[in-house]
Chains A and B, each alone.
Chain A
Amino acid sequence: MTALSTDLLLSAKNLTKHFGGLAAVNDVSIDLFKGQIHAVIGPNGAGKSTLTNLVSGDLTLTSGSIQLNGHDVTGWSAEKISKQGLGRSFQKTNVFLPLSVWDNVRLAAQSRDSQQPWNPLSWFKNTQNAINSIAAQATNMPASEIIKLCKLENRMHAIAGTISHGEQRQLEIAMTLATQPRVLLLDEPLAGMGVAEAERMIELLHTLKKNHAMLLVEHDMDAVFALADKLTVMVNGQVIASDNPSKVRADAKVQAAYLGEEEHV
């Protein structure tokens, strides 16, 4: 399954992040192609979340470079990178708890508006009209469809703070999708989910794969092997293996460092 180079949506080269003397991420390179899920696994503290935060612009790079949709986005702020077509979800649920599910998704969708806070005309605009005009663009998915896709249509008017943890994880993905990204960075979307909820999420990620390039940080090995087209294993901030999942599974170094340990637990 080789992807065409035109499908290369994100290319991160030699990413390094030092926190004082600690190299949390050390010389990590990752390419993301449309239609592929690239999973990153590794024990706690391996630098997976730091890697996500570096690519999304939440943390600044010590060195390395990132190309997104053909633009050099190295050193860009999180909001600029988001506008360039990268959407991320958070490991720790990070939704707007006092707002309804619908308002959460709508606020995310609004980020694709022209964003002219200083323009007095925008002070009197109807928010729903603004959202509708964004959704009317051919390439965009309307917020209502996103909510359906994420199986939240029955909880649409519930306050985000009152829905279950699994539903909050679904909402987290829905909000990320509402920013119309081409590249998805998903940080442990299955964390803390029940079996049924996890299955729904895996199905959703399968659906999303078609039109997105995806970086998936995940602890759930069943999910990783069910979903990943490519698998990178990180230990202590470094990549110790990066290949297709079956080869990585056979890798002796990986077994020693990570998968083996898990079996003995």
Chain B
Amino acid sequence: MSSPKANLEILPRGVQIALGLGLVALLAFPWVGTDFYTQMVTRMLIMAIFAMSLDLLQGVTGLVSLGHAAYFGLAGYALAFLMPQDAAVSLWWTLPVAVLASALAALIIGFFVVRTHGIYFIMVTMAFAQMVFFLFFDNKILGGSDGLYINFKPSAQVFGFTLFDLENKITFYYVTLVLALLVYVFLRRLLWSPLGRALSGIRINEHRMKAMGFGTFGYKLTAFTIAGGLAGLAGYLWGAQSGFVNPELMGFHMSAHAIMMVILGGMGNFAGAFVGAFTFEYVLHVLKDLPTLQMFGKDINLGKHWQLWMGTFIVLVVIFAPRGLMGLAERFLQKREYPKGNSK
């Protein structure tokens, strides 16, 4: 008998099949989609990595970080600094360096913030992210408010032989897809490891975890660091794909978007974050393209006010699907079995 778990950690068969079909669609997409849409889905995959990294904190450990974009942006900037003006730099060492830079920043900032709880954690993560934001925003050497250009895609040469060419948009798509899947598999595995079990315990009842002898600080700091590193992976890809970085990447809005993606998809199982990122980015695309209407003798550009519609959309999802789209999918795809003899 399957038993319901917190946060849909065990994905029901119906949801698994739906996700499998989604994967097939992703694998086939560049063959049917235009260049524009292939790039858009690449962007969605990158945001999916970012959202999954946040889900490790928000959905699994119960730490709501309002400053997660800082680690996303830092790795993008790392790539921008490492990329010369006139030649492509190697992927093989810049990617690890950028990811480690984000992880290191998360380790240092995490050392201070994971001591706090609840609302204080939210505020302190945001404060640190704002510090990073203004550090880059106000320093001309760091690119200032305009940001920096990344003129080339990182090169994937091994001993003079090019394994794959990231300048090719379809290649970039598949590399991103593989990385997103690796991150998903890694995090799912982590969820069931002793570390993941302890992180779930901390979310549910940290006080009891301490009473049982768990050094919760070390667990939370590890989660914060891993999440920072994975956000860095996403940020690196973002920088490589778009060819520029600016302080907005580390901004408050970016962090808030990631939180919305995780909530939208359903927390704590990573599949939800993945689906949430895709949905959020797609809805964003649709809303920004809304037409301009002639009303009351004025031109009203609906697309310009996309935040208003997005807010409405998120509110509706939270009200009607409190466990996100994954919870909704589960309800439609599988009748849930509850253990017999409920006394409450």
Chain A residues within 8 Å of B, Cβ to Cβ: 56, 58, 77-80, 82-83, 88, 90, 94-100, 103, 106-108, 110-113, 115, 117-118, 122-127, 130, 157-159, 161-164, 175, 179
How many angstroms from the CA of A106 to the CA of B218 in the assembled complex? 20
Q: Identify the closest chain A residue to B223 (Cβ).
A: A117
Residue numbers in B under 8 Å from A126 (CB-CB): 192-193
Residue numbers in B under 8 Å from A164 (CB-CB): 343
* Residue pair A162, B193 in contact (C-beta under 8 Å): no
How many angstroms from the CA of A69 to the CA of B223 in the assembled complex? 33
Which of B1-9, B144-152, B296-304 is found at the contact surface with chain A?
B1-9
* Residue pair A115, B218 in contact (C-beta under 8 Å): yes
B217–chain A nearest beta-carbon distance, Å: 9
Residue numbers in B under 8 Å from A118 (CB-CB): 218, 221-222
A98-B6, A123-B190, A163-B343 given. 12 additional CB < 8 A pairs? A78-B211, A88-B211, A98-B204, A99-B6, A107-B197, A117-B222, A122-B193, A126-B192, A126-B193, A158-B341, A162-B344, A175-B208
Q: Quick one: given A117-B219, A157-B339, are A78 and B344 in contact (CB under 8 Å)?
A: no
Q: Identify the closest chain B residue to A97 (Cβ).
A: B204
Q: Quick one: given A99-B6, A118-B222, are A107 and B212 in contact (CB under 8 Å)?
A: yes
* Residue pair B201, A96 in contact (C-beta under 8 Å): yes
Residue numbers in B under 8 Å from A117 (CB-CB): 195, 198, 218-219, 221-223
* Residue pair A161, B194 in contact (C-beta under 8 Å): no
Residue pairs across A and B with CB atoms within 8 Å: the count is 113
B334–chain A nearest beta-carbon distance, Å: 17
Interface residues of B in 207-241 (CB under 8 A from A): 207-216, 218-219, 221-223, 226
How many angstroms from the CA of A117 to the CA of B216 in the assembled complex? 10
How many angstroms from the CA of A77 to the CA of B216 in the assembled complex? 11
* Residue pair A100, B3 in contact (C-beta under 8 Å): yes
Q: List 6 A-B contacts (CB under 8 A).
A: A79-B212, A83-B213, A96-B204, A100-B3, A125-B193, A159-B3
Partner of B194, one of A95, A122, A157: A122
Partner of A82, one of B3, B192, B211, B219: B211
Give chain B's interface residue range (CB within 8 Å of chain A): 35 or more
Q: Quick one: given A94-B205, A127-B192, A127-B194, are A77 and B210 in contact (CB under 8 Å)?
A: yes
Residue numbers in B under 8 Å from A90 (CB-CB): 208, 211
Q: Quick one: given A118-B222, A159-B3, are A124 and B193 in contact (CB under 8 Å)?
A: yes
Partner of B193, one of A77, A127, A175: A127
* Residue pair B218, A108 in contact (C-beta under 8 Å): no
Residue numbers in A under 8 Å from B226 (CB-CB): 123
Complex interface bits, B184-205 against A, C-beta within 8 A gives 1, otherwise 0: 0010011011111110110011
Partner of B205, one of A80, A96, A110, A123: A96
How many angstroms from the CA of A78 to the CA of B204 in the assembled complex? 18
How many angstroms from the CA of A49 to the CA of B190 in the assembled complex? 37
How many angstroms from the CA of A164 to the CA of B342 in the assembled complex? 9
Residue numbers in A under 8 Å from B221 (CB-CB): 117-118
How many angstroms from the CA of A79 to the CA of B6 in the assembled complex? 25
* Residue pair A96, B208 in contact (C-beta under 8 Å): yes
